[in-house]
Amino acid sequence: MERTKIFELRDKYQGRKKSGYDIEPETGAIIVYPLDAVYYKGIYYSMKEGDPVFFGNYVAYVREYMKEKPLQVPGSGVIVYRTNEDGEVEVLLQLRGDFNQYGLPGGGIEIGETYEECAVNELLQETAYIARKDDLELANVYAGPKHVTRYPNGDIVFHTVVVFKIEASKCKKAPHDFDKIETKKLEWKTIEQIEELLKGDKVFPNNIPIFEDIVNKFFI
């Protein structure tokens, strides 16, 4: 959004409320009063300076103060699926760099992101697939004792994961490659192959209940 437009919105809305929001009818921008910011197309703009507001890495910021104590971290996961020539459903899986186990593309939500934006951003980073938020379909929400992870560095995280589905035909490949640190490789797996992964202790533990739903629920 152009700085002049942000300042127009500042003159119109700043100071009107201490909390809550308004929607500017012309552009659909959201005036976020607690932040004195304008939210437009996935970006927060300061109404004071007119520049984008960057919040940094939320989990790293909180971890700095919480040290080794467990964190509750919200995030998103994405089930990208297609039908192969034999009529079987295949799901795009990520072989994770940290655990060397299979999981879904996804990650923790950053400050200011929606769950859909988190899903789209993580999908791009970890698979180099580009998706539109409007094409995401809510699959399920996961949390609780089956979604607690101890990472290799010792950090403990309680996850709340919003999982979306999207057909592969609605995605397109980015011109760049995926992040080779988080993703060792990508593989398309059939439902039967995912069942075998579950039997062989080859699934990232946090994702096991999601994989079980992929096998028993989402594509029945």
165 three-state secondary structure: strand
CATH number of the domain that residue 187 is part of: 3.90.79.10
Q: Please state the separation of Cα 26 from the chain's center in Å.
A: 29
Q: Are residues 71 and 39 in the same domain?
A: no
Quote the domain boundaries for residue 11.
3-46
Q: Are residues 164 and 75 in the same domain?
A: yes
Q: Are residues 111 and 141 in the same domain?
A: yes
Q: What is the pLDDT of residues 80-92, one digit of tens each?
A: 999 999 999 999 9
User: Position of tokens 């089956």?
Assistant: 146
Confidence of residue 22 (pLDDT cuts 50, 70, 90): very high
Helices (H), the chain: 3-13, 58-66, 115-127, 191-199, 208-213
Residue 202 lies in a domain: yes
Measure the CA–CA gap between 119 and 77, rounded to whole angstroms. 6
pLDDT at position 179 is 94
46 three-state secondary structure: strand
What is the tally of structural domains in the chain? 2
Residue 14 lies in a domain: yes
Measure the CA–CA gap between 208 and 103, rounded to whole angstroms. 8
Measure the CA–CA gap between 122 and 133, rounded to whole angstroms. 12
Q: What is the pLDDT of residues 35-75, one digit of tens each?
A: 999 999 989 999 999 999 988 888 888 888 888 899 999 99
Q: Are residues 76 and 121 in the same domain?
A: yes
Q: What is the pLDDT of residues 160-194, one digit of tens each?
A: 999 999 999 999 999 999 999 999 999 999 999 99
